[in-house]
Amino acid sequence: MKTGKLALLLSKDESYLVEASNRILHTQNGMVNLGELKKKKFGSIIKTHTGKKFSIVKPNIRDIVDKKVRRSAQVMMPKDIALILAYTGIGPGDNVVDAGTGTGYMSILLANYVTPGKVVTYEKDKRFVKIAKHNIKSSGLKNIRLKERDVNKGVGEKNLDAVTLDMKNPQRAINHAYKSLTAGGWLIVYSPTIESLKDAVNSIKKKDFCELKTVENIVREWKVELTTRPKTMGLMHTGFITFARKLK
């Protein structure tokens, strides 16, 4: 494994995203000499000085965003991003605009999925722009372009397969999104409240969209031990997702 190459050290109870280097990693169960990774391949084993074994795994995009992405704003959760992909059918080769960027979490996951397509993401808040730049660079993806720009002033890209709006007052950007979408392209609006949702839907209805629907995605994790039951705490309501498809 080359110096600087990312690897995931994986065990049943802990995991670490690391680079092959000359430094020492301190884990809950001893130290790992990361220099040993240079002689290892994915799928092999590395041990701490106390004998704890880790499998050396090639990290995927989820490992990278979970462990390297800095968060300073509420991000759209994976359950909601997965729903967007499933409901719209966007995929490899598609071109997407994502506004606003926030920390870049959504943009990174979308860009990984639509490769070799591209994601252009809009963010006007300088605080988030700085963090998003770091996170996009950390992802290693080359098909994301970050624009420090207010999407309410217009979308420069045309013939888009999808536009996502996760921002305050998304109704102000719906006309710009409509003009930039290709026929059959999808508009996706994320709304944290009913009031925001209603404003967005009313604006969508003024344009030539079809297949308009709003959903809420609730995920409940279960514990399977001596007894089987839902976990006491769960990731329930996060927001409302509205879908609409451009007619022509």
Q: What is the chain's pLDDT, residue by residue, as a tens digit (248 residues)?
A: 888 789 999 999 999 999 999 899 999 999 999 999 999 999 999 999 999 999 999 999 999 988 888 776 567 888 999 999 999 999 999 999 999 999 999 999 999 999 999 999 999 999 999 999 999 999 999 999 999 999 999 999 999 999 999 999 999 999 999 999 999 999 999 999 999 999 999 999 999 999 999 999 988 889 999 999 998 876 678 899 999 999 98
* Ramachandran category for residue 75: left, alpha or beta (phi over 0 → left; psi -120 to 50 → alpha): beta
| CA nearest neighbour of 203 among 165, 175, 167, 162 | 175
Distance CA(17)–CA(34), nearest Å, equals: 11
pLDDT tens, position by position, 186-203: 999 999 999 999 999 999
Helix (H) or strand (E) holding 236: none
Assign domain 6-59 one CATH number from 1.10.287.610, 3.90.1310.10, 3.90.420.10, 3.10.330.20.
3.10.330.20
- pLDDT for 73 equals 58
**3-state SS of the chain: helix, strand, coil percent to 5?**
30, 30, 40
Q: Where does CATH 3.10.330.20 sit in the chain?
A: 6-59
Strand partners, 245: 186, 210
Distance CA(36)–CA(54), nearest Å, equals: 12
- pLDDT for 200 equals 97
Give alpha helix (H) positions in the chain.
Answer: 61-68, 78-88, 105-114, 126-139, 174-180, 194-204
126-139 and 61-68 helices cross at what angle (nearest 10)? 140
- pLDDT for 236 equals 75
Asked whether 160 and 179 are in contact (CB, 8 A), the reply is no
Q: Where does CATH 3.40.50.150 sit in the chain?
A: 63-246
Helix (H, G, I), strand (E, B) or coil at 123: coil
- pLDDT for 220 equals 86
Is this model's pTM higher than 0.95 or not? no
- pLDDT for 75 equals 73
- pLDDT for 126 equals 92
- pLDDT for 219 equals 87
**Taking the domain 63-246, which CATH number applies?**
3.40.50.150
- pLDDT for 185 equals 98
Helix (H, G, I), strand (E, B) or coil at 64: helix
